[in-house]
Amino acid sequence: MSTTVDDELWSAIGDPTRRTMIDLLLADGPGTATSLSRRLPVTRQAVSKHLAVLDRVGLIHAEPAGRERHYQVDEAQLARAVAQLSAVGATWDARIRRIKRIAEAIERTRHNDEGE
Amino acid sequence: MSTTVDDELWSAIGDPTRRTMIDLLLADGPGTATSLSRRLPVTRQAVSKHLAVLDRVGLIHAEPAGRERHYQVDEAQLARAVAQLSAVGATWDARIRRIKRIAEAIERTRHNDEGE
DNA sequence: AACCTTTCGCAACCTTTGGTTGCACTGAAC
DNA sequence: GTTCAGTGCAACCAAAGGTTGCGAAAGGTT
């Protein structure tokens, strides 16, 4: 039933701003709160909070560089997160397919009954 | 960069309680707010609100039956949602792989330079 | 050294959202 | 008709996403 420890991972990825931030970090390489905020519709402080969340769940990690803090995606952790995403998706897919099979079986039975 | 209309879909699926509710509806078939709340650590009213959210984004739909409202997963919509999930995952995976390729290329270049 | 600029972190505040309790309503069953 | 289970609506609370407004520290300029 999927409700376990990785809930924090989901809610980390669930936020659209955070998802875009991950996109930007992957596309453009490491960045700071300020550099990210320039490419997002939110303030630097909001970005900073999101970075803290992503850092806490381990999806990114910071590297202090002088007066700046360079954030960078932890590829292994993100890969793990993606795997969990698709796991849930796969589960749902499987259940949907099972339901459809059952529905078809019932359909067939009904036809047989009518045919008698 | 993935930040489009389907944000509501993500945030619908992003909530752990709502994910579990979808799980339950898929596993046990249609259910009511009350029946779901009995299998969840939240009150009926909370479940009711979540059902409203899922209904609004089209992942489930209600079917009034006497004094009860039976909710049921819209398989087509859920399949669409799952597809979007895995699309984002695939994008990230692709970017991670690209980064790794580039990193390896740099690594090779460095070795060549040292070799001269 | 003194100054200005940039980046950051912290605190206060607002709004939305997930959750609660309480109550009034309605359909079914006795 | 009374009772009982299921629903909906409203008020309220806490946490999360977002804002503005500061003060502090690292870097570049003169």
Mean local confidence (pLDDT), A49-76: 96
Residue-wise burial string across B72-89, b where 16 or more C-beta atoms lie within 10 A, e elsewhere: ebbbebbeebbebbbebb
C-beta of residue A96 within 8 angstroms of C-beta of residue B27: no
Using a CB–CB cutoff of 8 Å, tell me whether B13 touches chain A: yes
Residue the block writes with tokens 């009511």: B32
C-beta of residue B12 within 8 angstroms of C-beta of residue B54: yes
> Exposed (0-12), middle (13-18) or buried (19+): which is B71, by Cβ within 10 Å?
buried
Q: How far is A15 from chain B (nearest CA, A)?
A: 7
The helix-helix angle for B16-28 and A75-115 (nearest 10°) equals 30
Residue ranges of B 31-70 with Cβ closer than 8 A to chain A: none
**Residue B60 clears pLDDT 70, i.e. is over it:** yes
CB contact under 8 A, A26 and B96: yes
Mean local confidence (pLDDT), B32-39: 98
Residue B98: CB atoms within 10 Å: 12
A-chain residues near B3 (CB < 8 A): 16, 19-20
pLDDT at B5: 59
CA distances from A13 to A18, A96, B26, B61, B115 (A): 6, 24, 23, 26, 44
Mean local confidence (pLDDT), B3-15: 80
**Residue B4 clears pLDDT 70, i.e. is over it:** no
Best residue of A95, A101, A106 to probe chain B, by most B CBs closer than 10 Å: A95
Nearest CA in chain A to B18: A3
The average confidence (pLDDT) of chain A is 91
In sequence order, what are the residues at sequence separation of 6 or more whose Cβ sits closer than 8 angstroms to the Cβ of residue B77?
Answer: B57, B58, B59
**First-residue to last-residue Cα distance in chain A:** 42
Mean local confidence (pLDDT), B13-21: 95
**Residue B88 clears pLDDT 60, i.e. is over it:** yes
Distance separating alpha carbons of residues A105 and A98, to the nearest angstrom = 11
Distance separating alpha carbons of residues B59 and B44, to the nearest angstrom = 19
> Exposed (0-12), middle (13-18) or buried (19+): which is B91, by Cβ within 10 Å?
middle
Residue type, A93: D
- pLDDT, greater one: A112 or A79: A79
pLDDT at A111: 83
Distance separating alpha carbons of residues A105 and B43, to the nearest angstrom = 36
Name A residues 5-24 whose Cβ lies under 7 Å from strand D. 11, 15, 17
**Residue A27 clears pLDDT 60, i.e. is over it:** yes
pLDDT at A5: 58
